[in-house]
Chains A and B, each alone.
Chain A
Amino acid sequence: MPAPILSLHDVHKSYGRGATRFDALKGVSFDVLEGESLAIVGKSGSGKSTLMHLMALLDQPTSGTIALSGTDAASLHGRTLNTTRNKTFGFVFQQFFLTSGASVLENVILPLKIAGVGRSERRRRGLEVLARLELDDKARNRASDLSGGQKQRAVIARALVNDPRVIFADEPTGNLDTATGAVVEDILFTLNREQGITLIIVTHDEELAARCDRAIHVRDGLIIDAEAVAA
């Protein structure tokens, strides 16, 4: 059995204090195994987005521990934390978050630029990943000129360019029609299967969750029927 890439133990997260205190997570524990696909399912306000932010080390839990490959995330700070995030994670968001005026290639190589990779190397790897997603002919186009499906493919290319171990996808098909959404889903699951990239999908879409190896249902800050594979 492979070692857990992410391990959460009794994670609590609260916002505010006193009367306005809001407990988003009330004690969540589970492991994410290297190479699996995991769906985090829940309604809006259930705490699933908070959970994703904590797992992506964008935020610290109020109490409890999160371990990345056995290392306590609380021990990572500043530059180390930034480097770890840059090298380990890729992000796919519902709203794309592409810089509209810049070219598709510029958008895709942003993680490499942040990592401090040289110009020619960035270009090579950027074009390579765009070719894998059949977007190489759009490399020079402005990001705003792409269709919805193409934009989401560009976002996946950006998430992939740094060879991450984990891809976080927040409602990856939320802004796409059914046919385009299905294509994007196929791409994500192919990456998971063929390259062993751990896939963590945050969604309220039960059908999408059903395609994952495993689904975790979150409600009111707690996991219900954990480990159960959705019908």
Chain B
Amino acid sequence: MRTIDVIGSAVSNTFRSKTRTLLTILAIFIGAFTLTITTGLGTGINRYIDDTVASVGASNGMTVSKNAPDAPTGDGPRAYDPNASTTRQGPTLTAVELMDDSDVTALRAIDGVTSVTPIDAITLDWVRHGDGTQYQAAIGGFFSGSALQLAAGAQPSDTSSELQVAIPANYVDSLGFDDAASAVGQTITLGLTDGAHQAQQVDATVIGVANPSLGGAGTTLVANTALSANLHDLQSTGLPAAQQGQFRQASIRFADSGNAQDVTALKTRLTDAGYTGQTVADQLGTFKTVIDAIVVVLNAFAIIALLAASFGIVNTLFMSVQERTREIGLMKAMGMGSGKVFGLFSLEATFIGFLGSAIGAAIGIGVGSLVGNALGKVLSNLPGLHLIAFDPLSVLGIVLLVMAIAFLAGTLPALRAARQDPIESLRYE
């Protein structure tokens, strides 16, 4: 028997007992549908997190701070270090060693580091459009390779000498713009205090409007390189010489091999040199782990449903083998090999699995998209979040997985059919 005929016969045999096949397909459908939805949930949320990671920083970027020379010993307070900057986070005092040009040189020398940029902490007093009200604002620098989730406009340019700033979407109304699109290209004024306690102000062009997202991106103003440098210079004006050229953190770029081990190795080298490196993935890693864990649990339920359905396949096919005992005997008497008989029944199981999973995945995608859109409106304070998203590869993976499970379920009845003695089968009444 030709393979194509084995497949054709298996497919037509599937529809011989329609009600029974339909019920079995329904059982598989439920499992495949659930698996599609839960996987879609994981894909949707993780895709959103990945987009967010891109807005916080490039995947080949790391934020580096210098470790304080002596860790505190025992419960006692740490000795004062004139080079350290102290931050209070709740009741905890954290000391961060300030860095200067020598640290930039030291970081550049570390294997794997391709560039080092000091992060200048800029304290903004206010932001204003035209003669409007002054509003409080925080500003951060923009790293090329990262991406803001834009409501309008473009990403800040690393290379442009124009002073560019991206503003959060919730500043649009307050600053007196009609909507996000009309804010783009307008000039706003930023106010700050310099090292000599003199008020200073800078005009900058709005290059884009960013949506808020996870990890705090899109909640502060974002300056391009030119504006960052300009603001930093202003802020340093009048500072004592000893305090100039100092910064708390640096951003480094490294050759991105896409290999997590390389990143870990780089972190170890940074630690050995007395620095601490943190990637954006580290910052959002916990969040992602929790989402992954939830998705794994949901998927486990779907797999349990599929396993239950696979017993339905075993049952259906055992009945089918029983009913077709004489037919199997006849085919064997006519010279059909046991292998082909096995193929006939296991392919029938696989086809049932294919039907159930294909229908389940298709309806799952349909329902998931509808529910995802509806939920997207409820969760409107996280724009860009599609709770349920579908990746063609993972949907294909689900269909193949279900077919594999169905095939395995079919092997038992198929083996029984293949082992049947033609004479016994022909005598069977």
Q: Which residues of B contact A111 (CB under 8 A)?
A: 334-335
Contact of B330 among A53, A81, A91, A116 (CB under 8 A): A91
Cβ-based interface call for B331 (8 A): yes
Give B222-256 interface residues, CB cut-off 8 Å to A.
none
Contact of A110 among B16, B326, B331, B423 (CB under 8 A): B331
Asked whether, in the complex, the Cβ of B330 is within 8 Å of the Cβ of A85, the reply is: no
State in angstroms the CA–CA spacing of A85 and B337 once bound together: 11
Given contact pairs A113-B9, A116-B1, A59 touches B335 in the complex (Cβ within 8 A) = no
Q: Which residue of B lies closest to A91 (CB)?
A: B333
Q: Which residues of B contact A87 (CB under 8 A)?
A: 335
Main secondary structure on A side of the interface with B? helix
Given contact pairs A85-B335, A91-B333, A97-B426, A114 touches B16 in the complex (Cβ within 8 A) = no
Q: Which residues of A contact B336 (CB under 8 A)?
A: 82, 114
Query: What is the number of residues of chain B that contact chain A, defined by CB distance less than 8 Å?
Result: 19
Given contact pairs A78-B337, A79-B337, A82-B337, A114 touches B331 in the complex (Cβ within 8 A) = yes
State in angstroms the CA–CA spacing of A86 and B16 once bound together: 26
Asked whether, in the complex, the Cβ of B335 is within 8 Å of the Cβ of A114, the reply is: yes
- B278 → chain A, closest Cβ, in Å? 65
Cβ-based interface call for B162 (8 A): no
Asked whether, in the complex, the Cβ of B330 is within 8 Å of the Cβ of A113, the reply is: no
State in angstroms the CA–CA spacing of A59 and B332 once bound together: 12
Q: Which residue of A lies closest to B15 (CB)?
A: A101
Asked whether, in the complex, the Cβ of A83 is within 8 Å of the Cβ of B1, the reply is: no
Cβ-based interface call for A58 (8 A): yes
Cβ-based interface call for A184 (8 A): no
- B69 → chain A, closest Cβ, in Å? 80
Give B320-367 interface residues, CB cut-off 8 Å to A.
326-327, 329-331, 333-337, 340
State in angstroms the CA–CA spacing of A97 and B331 once bound together: 10
**Which positions in B face A, CB cutoff 8 Å?**
1-2, 5, 9, 16, 326-327, 329-331, 333-337, 340, 422-423, 426
Q: Which 9 pairs between the two chains have the least Cβ-Cβ distance?
A: A86-B335, A82-B335, A85-B335, A114-B336, A97-B330, A116-B2, A111-B334, A114-B1, A53-B423
Q: List 9 interface pairs A-B (beta carbons < 8 Å), by A numbering.
A: A78-B337, A85-B334, A86-B334, A91-B334, A97-B329, A113-B9, A114-B1, A114-B331, A114-B335
